[in-house]
């Protein structure tokens, strides 16, 4: 598909997601209390959207990933939260 | 439209889902063993679960003329308890004789711990010993990148493993290339929020230009769509993919991989 066709197919969906994301940040700003590491991780990942290389999705995922290489000693629990806490855990 | 659903946790789904899948063109469904949402209290719980996967669930699917196949293992979330895991590993060979068992899966890692890795290596050795196909679960979200690397290393460290007989599932944009570059098959899971959307899945297929990719829904007890594969096929049509290319991705590719097991036969 060419760019015009992709815009016809996906622009409204991307627009809606962008506004949702903006509203989410507004909601956080209006709320009280401290944010945990996830907000900082999201802000860092957002920078990837300004990159002019077509690997933004990959780089956002890498930005939110655990960068270490060795297996950990013990499981801290069952679930994942979507961002690596680093030293903040 | 015809398609194969290579990864669905039907024990967690209502019977209406079978009806909807068959109506949409599903020709076979494959069910890897996974976490139940809670830890079982002992090996007997797994014995019962494996009996369900190899006896009851195929009968439920057969009511809709849908062939049902399965994969066996102890999942990575419960593998942290290595004593339990060893007990479960000991009963798997008994069930490998059942006629709808395709291999060992979905094995892998969850939080990338030493215990999980130890049990993953034992599963890989078990699969190699019994010449079984392998289906791998890669970790969720922030743990996926590291976990996929560890899993690839573990597979490459077992010389009896043939990469073309291993499907590594739940790949995303940051892991798909390393999986395919290693000669393994890659599974893209269409799952809300935590995995891939139809649009992203098609992007990956277009970018990789690889033939050894399948799509799956991994529907389970969470919010998930048992019709995610046919819905993605419709999205591919909107993107201009030919009927032949769509058929190859959602039917031909899983058939090619799964047919490496003599058990996988479609009438």
B141-165 residue pLDDT tens:
999 999 999 999 999 999 999 999 9
Report residue B78's pLDDT band, with 50, 70 and 90 as the boundaries.
very high
B173 contact A CB<8A: yes
Q: Is A4 helix (H, G, I), strand (E, B) or coil?
A: helix
Longest dimension (CA), chain B: 52
Q: What is the pLDDT of residues A27-85, one digit of tens each?
A: 999 999 999 999 999 999 999 999 999 999 999 999 999 999 999 999 999 999 999 99
Q: Which residue of B has its CA nearest to A57?
A: B173
pLDDT of residue A89: 53
Q: How confident is the model at residue A87 (pLDDT cuts 50, 70, 90)?
A: confident
Best residue of B39, B117, B173 to probe chain A, by most A CBs closer than 10 Å: B173
- At B209 the pLDDT is 79
- Residue B213's DSSP bridge partners are B186
**Tell me: the pLDDT tens digits for B163-189?**
999 999 999 999 999 999 999 999 999
- Interface contact B142-A84, CB threshold 8 A: yes
Select from B114, B139, B200 the Cβ nearest to the Cβ of A57: B200
Instruction: Assess B142–A contact: CB distance below 8 Å, yes or no.
Output: yes
Instruction: Give how far A26 is from chain B: nearest CA, Å.
Output: 21
pLDDT-based confidence at B267, cuts 50/70/90? confident
B115–A75 CB contact, under 8 Å: yes
**What are the CA-CA distances from residue B206 to residues B21, B119, B187, B248 (Å)?**
26, 35, 14, 13
Interval A4-14 mean pLDDT: 98
Chain B residue with the nearest C-alpha to that of A60: B174
**Residue B185 CB contacts under 8 Å (≥ 6 apart), including other chains:** B164, B166, B167, B168, B179, B212, B213, B214, B257
What is the pTM assigned to this prediction? Answer: 0.97
pLDDT at B77 over 90: yes
């Amino acid at each position: 598909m060419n760019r015009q066709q992709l815009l016809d197919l996906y622009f409204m969906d991307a627009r809606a997601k962008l506004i949702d994301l903006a509203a989410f940040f507004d909601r956080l700003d209006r709320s009280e209390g401290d944010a945990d590491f996830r907000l900082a991780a999201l802000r860092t990942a957002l920078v990837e959207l300004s990159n002019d290389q077509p690997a933004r999705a990959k780089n956002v995922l890498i930005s939110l990933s655990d960068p270490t290489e060795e297996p950990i000693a013990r499981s801290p629990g069952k679930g994942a939260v979507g961002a690596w806490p680093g030293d903040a855990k | 439209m015809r398609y194969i659903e290579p990864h669905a946790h039907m024990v967690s789904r209502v019977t209406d889902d079978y009806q909807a899948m068959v109506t949409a063109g599903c020709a076979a469904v494959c069910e890897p063993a996974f976490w139940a949402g809670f830890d079982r209290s002992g090996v007997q719980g797994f014995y019962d679960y494996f009996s369900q996967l190899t006896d009851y669930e195929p009968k439920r699917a057969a009511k809709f003329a849908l062939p049902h196949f399965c994969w066996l293992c102890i999942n990575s979330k419960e593998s942290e308890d290595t004593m339990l895991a060893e007990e479960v590993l000991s009963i798997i060979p008994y069930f490998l004789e059942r006629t709808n068992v395709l291999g060992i899966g979905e094995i892998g890692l969850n939080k990338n711990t030493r215990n999980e890795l130890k049990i993953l290596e034992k599963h890989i050795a078990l699969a190699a010993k019994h010449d079984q196909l392998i289906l791998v679960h890669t970790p969720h979200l922030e743990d996926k990148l590291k976990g996929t690397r560890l899993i690839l290393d573990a597979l490459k460290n077992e010389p009896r493993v043939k990469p073309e007989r291993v499907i590594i599932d739940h790949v995303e944009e940051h892991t798909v290339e390393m999986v395919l570059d290693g000669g393994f098959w890659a599974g893209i899971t269409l799952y809300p929020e935590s995995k891939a959307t139809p649009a992203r899945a098609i992007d990956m297929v277009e970018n990789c230009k690889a033939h050894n990719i399948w799509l799956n829904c991994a529907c389970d007890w969470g919010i998930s769509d048992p019709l995610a594969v046919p819905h993605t096929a419709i999205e591919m049509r909107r993107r201009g993919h030919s009927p032949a290319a769509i058929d190859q991705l959602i039917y031909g590719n899983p058939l090619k991989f799964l047919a490496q097991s003599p058990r996988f036969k479609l009438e």
